C-alpha cells in the first residue's frame, strides 16, 4: 500500500485471478494426476501459484513413487494425492480466500475501497491488509468488520 495516496475504484466486477479454485474432482484418475496451474492451484485475489504448484508437484511425486513401488496406478492408489494433508490445506485456504475476494467486491467494490481508505489512515491496518493481499493470508473477523462498518 502507498501511504498518503488517493484511491479510486478502477473496476467494479472483476477478479484478477481465477474464481473456480482447485479442480478437486479432476485431480486424479486411473493413470493420471493433474498438478500446478493445470489443476488451478492458483490463489484467489493475487493469482499467485508458485508455492501451491510446487507443493502439488511434490505430493504428486510422492504419490507416484508409492504407485510405482506397488505397480498400481489405479485411482484407488492415486487418491492419496488429493487426500494428502498439504493438498487439503491448500484447497481449504483457497476456498477461504475466495470468500474474502467475494467480500471485497460486494456492493460494487465498496469494501475494497474502504480497505484502501483505512490503510491510508492507519499504518497497522495498512500492514494487515497488505499481508492479506500479498501473502494470501485470511483476514480476521475484526478486520472484515472494520472494513464493512467504515464510514469515511
What mean pLDDT is reported for the chain?
A: 84
Question: Quick one: average pLDDT of 33-57?
Answer: 89
Instruction: Give the DSSP letter string of 114-127.
Output: HHHHHHHH-HHHHH
Minimal CA–CA distance to 124: which of 39, 3, 34, 13? 3
Q: How far is CA 92 from CA 95, 98, 100, in A?
A: 5, 10, 13
Q: How far is CA 98 from CA 46, 110, 127, in A?
A: 11, 17, 21
DSSP-assigned beta bridge partners for residue 28: 33
Question: Quick one: average pLDDT of 115-124?
Answer: 88
> Residue 52's pLDDT band (boundaries 50, 70, 90)?
very high
Q: Residue 137: is its pLDDT beyond 80?
A: no
Highest mean pLDDT among 2-6, 13-17, 39-43, 105-109: 39-43
pTM of the entire predicted model: 0.68
- Predicted confidence (pLDDT) per residue in 56-103, tens digit: 999 999 999 999 999 999 999 999 999 999 999 999 888 887 877 778
Query: What are the residue boundaries of the structural domains of the chain, listed by start?
Result: 24-100, 105-149
Lowest mean pLDDT among 10-24, 86-100, 130-144: 10-24
Amino acid at each position: 500500500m502507498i501511504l498518503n495516496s488517493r484511491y479510486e475504484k478502477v473496476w467494479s466486477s472483476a477478479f484478477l485471478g481465477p474464481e473456480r479454485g482447485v479442480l478437486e474432482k479432476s485431480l486424479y484418475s486411473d493413470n493420471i494426476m493433474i498438478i500446478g496451474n493445470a489443476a488451478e492451484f492458483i490463489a484467489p485475489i493475487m493469482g499467485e501459484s508458485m508455492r501451491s504448484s510446487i507443493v502439488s508437484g511434490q505430493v504428486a511425486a510422492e504419490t507416484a513413487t508409492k504407485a510405482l513401488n506397488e505397480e498400481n496406478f489405479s485411482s484407488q492408489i492415486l487418491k492419496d494425492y488429493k487426500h494428502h494433508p498439504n493438498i487439503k490445506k491448500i484447497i481449504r485456504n483457497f476456498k477461504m480466500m475466495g470468500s474474502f475476494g467475494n467480500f471485497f467486491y460486494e456492493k460494487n467494490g465498496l469494501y475494497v475501497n474502504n480497505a484502501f481508505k483505512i490503510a491510508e489512515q492507519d499504518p497497522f491496518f495498512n500492514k494487515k491488509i497488505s499481508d492479506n493481499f500479498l501473502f494470501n493470508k485470511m483476514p480476521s473477523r475484526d478486520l472484515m468488520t472494520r472494513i464493512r462498518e467504515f464510514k469515511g
